[in-house]
Structure 1
Amino acid sequence: MINYPPTKLLFTHRLQVRWSDMDKYGRVNHALYFTYMEQAETAWLESLGINLSAKESPVTAKANCAYHLPIFAPMTLIIQIYAGQIGRSSLSLFHTIYAEQEKELIYAQGHTVIVWVNHQIGKSIPLPEKIRQFVELRHD
């Protein structure tokens, strides 16, 4: 299991597992767990009204996942995002993935670090103030 620091819930995302997500072994391929976490992060940022553009957006600087149970289709997943450490241009996020039908079973836990980048200059820039305020209001 990933050691979660004391954090507060930022966002809950509901996601339907597609039949096309299944691999030749009849389960969701491990690489898609990262896609699911990314989809949840994008939905969270969009819910804040953050404009994800070609000019500036988050870039994943680090990602890991602890796989606890295989995911199968059809399932509805719940992905919860928690805040970790916040820096000038970076934010650490922790994810818990479970099935809507079995909330007591954790299927995976993940950790990502996103860095806000201006793609035109190719450098990190400060996190948007809207993100910083939202996280700081919810962080322990």
Structure 2
Amino acid sequence: MPAHLVTVQIRWVDMDAYRHVNNTLYFRYCEQARIQMLGFEGSAEAEQRARTPDPEALPTDGFVLLSVDMEFKRPVVYRDARAVDVQSWVTRIGSSSFDVAHRIVPVGEHGPDAKPFAACTSVMVAVDREAQRSRPLRPREIEMLQSYEDAALPVPQPGGRRGPQ
């Protein structure tokens, strides 16, 4: 099972002319899952963070998205699916950055053999927004990220099939 799971409702406006979910929305679905996993808006993690704030955290601390790479495997067709699940887990923890993998899958299909609609990797960096620079991950952040590691799921490798640059 994934370390973090979000069910995303597909809206009518998410479709393109072919009744497929527009590819740009896949990035938004992963963003929504990542924000919830990291304990910001709309999640049990956010409620927990509000109850037990990090005493080392400063108001300017946060994470920023450094890069994101998506491989579109098959279309999400609106008439066939009104929701998708986004699985998210941490695949690497560095001194100031970490990687998050995402898979967009049919609702309820969560195992390693699930056939995803898309696979995504995101690189996040811990920042001091006031200083406008990266900062080391704090022990409490590393502990939180470690709780989302899931070796059972395959690490997506988007970009591996790219043609000429």
Q: TM-score range by the shorter chain?
A: 0.7 to 0.9
Q: Distance in 2 between matches of 1:65 and 1:93?
A: 12
The match for 2:156 is none
Q: Is the 8 A contact 2:89 2:148 kept in 1?
A: no
Task: Look at both structures and tell me which one has the larger radius of gyration over its CA atoms.
Answer: 2
After superposition, the Cα gap between the structure-2 partners of 1:122 and 1:113, relative to the gap in structure 1 and judged at 3 Å, is: same
Letter paired with 1:31: T
After superposition, the Cα gap between the structure-2 partners of 1:54 and 1:14, relative to the gap in structure 1 and judged at 3 Å, is: farther
- Structure 1 unmatched runs, 5+: 1-7
Residue 96 (1) aligns with residue 103 (2):
yes
Instruction: Please show how residues 74-89 of structure 1 align to structure 2 within 5 Å.
Output: 74-89=81-96
Residue 116 (1) aligns with residue 136 (2):
no
Letter paired with 1:133: E
For residue 34 of structure 1, report the CA deviation from its aligned partner.
Answer: 1.0
The match for 1:64 is 69
**RMSD, aligned α-carbons:** 2.5
Query: Taking structure 2 as the reference length, what is the TM-score of the superposition?
Result: 0.69
1:21-51: CA deviations, max 9, x gaps? 1123322111111111110011111216278
The match for 1:126 is 136
Residue 18 (1) aligns with residue 24 (2):
no
Q: Which sits farther off after the overlay, 60-69 or 128-137?
A: 128-137
Residue 37 (1) aligns with residue 51 (2):
no
Letter paired with 1:89: S
Q: Is the 8 A contact 1:17 1:72 kept in 2?
A: no
Query: Taking structure 1 as the reference length, what is the TM-score of the superposition?
Result: 0.80
For residue 90 of structure 1, report the CA deviation from its aligned partner.
Answer: 0.6
Q: Is the 8 A contact 1:60 1:112 kept in 2?
A: yes
Letter paired with 2:19: G
- Structure 2 unmatched runs, 5+: 40-44, 152-165
Q: Distance in 1 between matches of 2:88 and 2:143?
A: 16
Q: Distance in 1 between matches of 2:133 and 2:18?
A: 41
Q: Distance in 2 between matches of 1:132 and 1:123?
A: 19
Q: Secondary structure of the equivalent of 1:106?
A: coil
Letter paired with 1:81: S
